Amino acid sequence: MKICVFGAGAIGGYMAGELALAGHEVCAIARGAHLAAIRSHGLKLIVEGQMRTVDLPASDDPAAFDPQDVVICALKAQQAHASAGAFAPLLGPRTAVLTAMNGIPWWYFYKERGPLDGHHLESVDPGGAQWNAIGPERAIGCVVDPACEVVAPGVIEHRLFKRFTIGEPDGSTSERIVALRDALVSAGFDVPIRETIRWNIWLKLWGNVCFNPISALTLATLDRVTSEPGLRALCKSMMAEAQAITASLGLTIPEEMMERRLNAAGSVVGHKISMLQDLERGRSLEIDALVTAVQEMGRLVKVATPTIDTVLALVQERGRQAALYGNDAPLSSGFPAPNLTRLHA
């Protein structure tokens, strides 16, 4: 299969390397020192303590490559939005785009089959840049579980998990998703296909909507956010509001999974979640796909979200004060720098 990984940072680089080693025709979009290292010495993967090197074509210009069978978008949501037009050279008539990203995806209501079917979410895709430039008919959903890190330019260490849960927006088991599943499985990944990929997206987001902003506001590690009584109660309040939204959208997440989600996250002692890492490293904050979109969807289905609203206002201002959110966030023109550390909670 001919595959381009757009954003070959921690998760994207891990996917690109394993797919190339499995014999697929893989190219990567990266930039800066990371790109230079890949070009000079190959992409190095550290998996289960063993380092392997794979040579693959890489560029910061998507026009260097032809149309692909699949483009894997492994950027942050705001970077993907800024790069929407840059996907064009990679897109042929049948190219699929796998959104291997956190949060609510820009295509969420495409073929959703509810009263909001076809609705465009402004919080994650302002002006419909991705909807119009890429097209929701290309999208395949993906929930990312692996924990990986770029430990040096061109060097990616895989630490935990190998699951990428995928699903078509319309819930079908299409020919293209089966082919993609088979390609990913051939690379050693665990890849279940789900008829209700939005349920899996919400289950992941159920934690991210609270863990990330609370951590960025308090500087607390994940185990502290989920174990300190006041912070745990705040998490529960935000999760309950998100649960009410999912119920209004026809999705049911059992209430007992709240405690399981909190306890599982709390077992990762000393871990700094991605938004706190980004804050400390001066990278743009992924607020809108994780939190603002939940607020927007709450308003669409007329579910009040007072706790989410309050935390969102605080973390947005925290981001603005650090010049990491809004107009002052460090997003360059063209292809933005990938998030090089992706440790998923």
Q: How far apart are CA 62 and CA 41, in angstroms?
A: 21
pLDDT at 330: 64
Q: How far apart are CA 286 and CA 56, in angstroms?
A: 29
Over the chain (345 residues), what is each successive 10-residue block's mean pLDDT? 94 96 97 94 92 95 97 93 95 97 95 93 94 97 90 89 96 97 98 96 93 96 93 96 95 88 82 88 93 97 97 97 81 40 43
Q: How far apart are CA 148 and CA 160, in angstroms?
A: 7
Q: Are strands 50-54 and 43-47 parallel, antiparallel or unpaired?
A: antiparallel
Long-range contacts of 49-57 (CB under 8 A, 24+ apart): 52/17, 52/21, 54/17, 54/20, 54/21, 56/16, 56/17, 56/20, 56/26, 56/27, 56/28, 57/27, 57/28
Across-strand partners of 4? Answer: 27, 71
pLDDT at 329: 63
For residue 34 the two structure tokens come to: 């990371």
Q: Between vectors from CA 132 to CA 129 and to CA 137, what angle results, nearest 5°?
A: 125
Write the secondary structure of 169-184 as one string of H (helix), E (strand) and C (coil).
CCCCCCHHHHHHHHHH
Q: Has 111 been annotated as catalytic?
A: no
Catalytic residue among 204, 236, 272, 302: 204
CA distance to 132, 163, 177, 258, per residue, from 192 (Å): 29, 8, 11, 23
Query: Domains of the chain, with CATH numbers?
Result: 2-195 (3.40.50.720), 199-328 (1.10.1040.10)
